[in-house]
Amino acid sequence: MRASRFFISTLKEAPSDAEIVSHKLMMRAGMIKRLGSGIYTYMPMGLKVIRKVEAIVREEMNRAGAIELSMPIVQPAELWQETGRWDKMGPEMMRVKDRHGRDYAIQPTSEEVVTDVVRSELKSYRQLPVNFYQVQTKFRDERRPRFGLMRGREFVMKDAYSFDKDVEGMQKSYASMFDAYTRIFTRFGLKFRAVAADTGAIGGNYSHEFHVIAQTGEDALVYCPSSDYAANMEAAEALALSSERLAASQQLVKASTPDTTKCEQVAQMLGLQLSQTVKSLALTVEKEENGRQVKENWLLLLRGDHELNEVKVNKVPGLSSFRFASEAEILDAYGTVPGYLGPINTKQPVKVVADRTVANMADFVCGANEAGYHFTGANWGRDCPEPIVADLRNVVEGDASPDGKGVLAIERGIEVGHVFQLGTAYSAKMEAVYLDEAGKPAPLQMGCYGIGVTRILGAAIEQNFDDKGIIWPDAIAPFEVVLAPMGYDRSEMVKLEADRLLAELLAAGVDVILDDRGLRPGAMFADWELIGVPHRVVIGERGLKEGNLEYQGRRDEAATAVPAAEMVGFIKAKLGK
Amino acid sequence: MRASRFFISTLKEAPSDAEIVSHKLMMRAGMIKRLGSGIYTYMPMGLKVIRKVEAIVREEMNRAGAIELSMPIVQPAELWQETGRWDKMGPEMMRVKDRHGRDYAIQPTSEEVVTDVVRSELKSYRQLPVNFYQVQTKFRDERRPRFGLMRGREFVMKDAYSFDKDVEGMQKSYASMFDAYTRIFTRFGLKFRAVAADTGAIGGNYSHEFHVIAQTGEDALVYCPSSDYAANMEAAEALALSSERLAASQQLVKASTPDTTKCEQVAQMLGLQLSQTVKSLALTVEKEENGRQVKENWLLLLRGDHELNEVKVNKVPGLSSFRFASEAEILDAYGTVPGYLGPINTKQPVKVVADRTVANMADFVCGANEAGYHFTGANWGRDCPEPIVADLRNVVEGDASPDGKGVLAIERGIEVGHVFQLGTAYSAKMEAVYLDEAGKPAPLQMGCYGIGVTRILGAAIEQNFDDKGIIWPDAIAPFEVVLAPMGYDRSEMVKLEADRLLAELLAAGVDVILDDRGLRPGAMFADWELIGVPHRVVIGERGLKEGNLEYQGRRDEAATAVPAAEMVGFIKAKLGK
User: What is d(CA A48, CA A515) in angstroms, rounded to the nearest whole number?
Assistant: 17
Give me the sign of the Cα torsion angle B286, B288, B290, B293.
Answer: positive
- Does A107 lie in the same domain as A208? yes
> Between the CA of residue A570 and those of A19, A476, A485, A563, what are the distances in Å?
39, 20, 18, 9
B41 touches chain A (CB under 8 A): yes
B60's enclosing H/E stretch is helix B44-63
Residue B150 has what DSSP assignment?
Answer: G
pLDDT at A204 (0 to 100):
57
Same domain for B440 and B491, yes or no, is no
Cβ contact A414:A340 at 8 Å: no
Distant-in-sequence, close-in-space partners of A47: CB < 8 Å, separation ≥ 6: B68, B69, B70
CA distance B123 to A133: 42
Please report whether residue B242 resides in a domain: no
Inter-residue contact A442 to A433 (CB < 8 Å): yes
Q: How many residues would you count in chain A?
A: 577
Which residues of chain A are under the pLDDT cut of 50? Answer: none
Task: Kindly state whether residue B452 falls inside one of the protein's structural domains.
Answer: yes
pLDDT given at position A246: 86
CB count within 10 Å of CB A200 equals: 12
Q: Residues A20, A68: one domain?
A: yes
Closest Cβ opposite residue B9 in set A33, A70, A121: A121
Residue B195 and residue B54 in one domain: yes
Instruction: Provide the shortest C-alpha distance from residue B436 to chain A (in Å).
Output: 19
List all residues of chain A from 533 to 572 with a beta carbon under 8 Å from chain B.
none
The helix or strand, by DSSP H or E, that contains position A358, with its residue range, turns out to be helix A356-359
Residue B115 within a domain: yes
Radius of gyration of chain A (CA): 30
The answer to whether residues B573 and B508 touch, using CB atoms and an 8 Å cutoff, is: no
What are residue B295's DSSP bridge partners? B286
Task: Give the whole-angstrom CA distance, residue A475 versus residue A184.
Answer: 11
Coil, strand or helix: which one is B151? strand
Residue B2 is assigned to a structural domain of this protein: no
Q: Which of A254, A282, A279 is nearest to A350 (CA)?
A: A282
Torsion of CA A148, A151, A153, A154, to 10 degrees: 70
Helices (H) then strands (E): counts for chain A:
15, 31
Q: Which has the closest alpha carbon to A142: A129, A128, A152, A130?
A: A152
Angle, vertex CA B322, rays to CA B319 and CA B327, nearest 5: 135
Could you tell me if B106 lies within 8 Å of chain A, comparing CB atoms?
Answer: yes
Q: In sequence order, what DSSP letters do the residues of B338-370 get, joined into one string?
A: TTS--SSS-SS--EEEEEHHHHT--SEEEE-SS
Residue type for A483, please? L
pTM to 2 decimal places = 0.92
Rg (chain B; Cα; Å)? 30
Residues 6+ apart with CB under 8 A from A175: none
A51 and A171 within one domain: yes
Put simply, whether A140 touches B (Cβ < 8 Å) is: no
CA A74 to CA B159: how far, in whole Å?
20
A contacts of B141 (beta carbons < 8 Å):
98-99
- Asked if B335 and B434 sit in the same domain, the reply is no
Residue A471 placed within a domain: no
Cβ within 8 Å of residue B294, ≥6 positions away: B286, B287, B288
Q: Do B130 and A7 touch (CB under 8 A)?
A: yes
| CB-CB neighbours of B519 under 10 Å | 16
Residues of B in contact with A95 (CB under 8 A): 96
Domain extent for B432? 15-237+410-461
**Peptide bond just before B129 cis, omega within 30 deg:** yes
Verify whether the Cβ–Cβ distance A73 to B139 is below 8 Å. yes
Residue where a domain terminates, one of A390, A405, A429: A390
Give alpha helix (H) positions in B154-299.
167-188, 263-270
Q: What's the rounded Cα separation, in Å, for the pair A553 and A529?
A: 10
Report the C-alpha gap between A183 and A176 in whole angstroms: 11
| A144 interface with B at CB cutoff 8 Å | no
Q: Mark whether B294 and B229 lie in a shared domain.
A: no
Q: How many CB pairs under 8 A join A and B?
A: 134
Angle (CA) B487-B489-B491 rounded to 5° is: 60
Q: How many helices (H) and strands (E) would you count in chain B?
A: 16, 31
CATH number for B258? 3.90.960.10
- Determine, for residues A75 and B36 on separate chains, whether the beta-carbon distance falls below 8 Å: yes
The answer to whether residue B85 is domain-embedded is yes
Please state, in angstroms and rounded to a whole number, the distance separating the CA atoms of residues A161 and A249. Answer: 58
Q: Is A421 exposed, middle or buried (0-12, 13-18, 19+ CB in 10 A)?
A: buried
pLDDT at A200: 62
Provide CB contacts within 8 A for A315, sequence distance 6+.
none
Measure CB to CB from residue A5 to each of B65, B116, B143 and give the nearest one: B65
User: Is residue A271, in this structure, part of any structural domain at all?
Assistant: yes
3-state secondary structure A166-180: CHHHHHHHHHHHHHH
Count other C-beta atoms under 10 Å from residue A381's C-beta.
10
Contacts of A8 (CB under 8 A, 6+ apart): A30, A45, A517, A527, A531
Query: How many other CB atoms sit within 10 Å of the CB of residue B42?
Result: 25
Same-domain status, B220 and B310: no
The whole-number mean pLDDT for each consecutive block of 10 residues of chain B, a chain of 577 residues, reads 95 90 97 96 98 98 97 97 94 96 96 96 93 97 91 96 96 97 98 87 75 94 95 94 91 95 94 96 93 93 96 93 95 95 95 97 97 96 96 96 95 96 94 95 96 98 97 98 96 97 97 96 97 98 96 97 97 96
> What is the per-residue DSSP string for B463-480?
HSEETTEE---GGG-S-S
Domain check: are A419 and A499 in the same one?
A: no
Q: Does A50 contact B at CB distance below 8 Å?
A: yes
Domain final position from A359, A390, A421: A390
Instruction: Report d(CA B303, CA B238) in Å as an integer.
Output: 12
Helical spans, DSSP H, in A7-43: 21-28
Determine the pLDDT at residue B568: 98
CATH number at residue A105: 3.30.930.10
CB < 8 Å to A42, chain B: 69-70
Q: Which residues contact A84 (CB under 8 A, 6 or more apart)?
A: A429
Phi–psi pair at B299, nearest 5 degrees:
-125, 125
**Residue B17: per-residue pLDDT:** 87
Integer CA distances (angstroms), B499 to B369, B488, B573, in order: 82, 10, 21
CA of A528 vs chain B CAs: smallest distance (Å): 18
Whether residues B487 and B432 fall in one domain: no
Q: Does A65 touch chain B (CB under 8 A)?
A: yes
Q: How many CB atoms lie within 10 A of CB B11?
A: 12
- Residue-wise DSSP of A254-282: EEE-TT--SHHHHHHHHT--GGGBEEEEE
Is residue B52 a part of any domain in this protein?
A: yes
Q: Is B91 on the interface with A (CB under 8 A)?
A: yes
Distances (CA, A) of A321 to A314, A318, A331, B443: 7, 8, 21, 60
The pLDDT tens digits of the residues spanning B56-96 come to 999 999 999 999 999 999 999 999 999 999 999 999 999 99
Compute the distance between CA of residue B247 and CA of residue B261 in angstroms, rounded to an integer: 27
pLDDT recorded at residue A198: 77
Angle at which helices A44-63 and A453-463 cross, to 10°: 110
State the Cα–Cα distance between residues A295 and B439, nearest whole angstrom.
75
Q: Say how many CA atoms lie within 13 Å of A188 toward its Cβ.
A: 31
Report pLDDT for A213.
Answer: 97
- How far apart, in whole angstroms, are the C-alpha atoms of residue B409 and residue B233? 11
Within an 8 Å CB–CB cutoff, is residue A73 touching chain B?
yes
pLDDT tens string A216-226:
999 999 999 99
Shared-domain flag, residues B218 and B307:
no
User: In this structure, are residues B396 and B306 in contact, taking their beta carbons and an 8 Å threshold?
Assistant: yes
| Complex confidence, ipTM | 0.91
Of A33, A130, A137, the CB nearest to B73: A137
- B255/A contact by beta carbon, under 8 A: no
For residue B521, the domain's CATH number is 3.40.50.800
In a shared domain, residues B385 and B272: yes
Please report the DSSP string for A317-350 in residue order. TT-TT-EEPPHHHHHHHHSS-TTS--SSS-SS--
Angle (CA) A525-A529-A535 rounded to 5° is 90
Count of the separate structural domains present in chain A: 3
| The last residue of a domain, from among B343, B360, B390 | B390
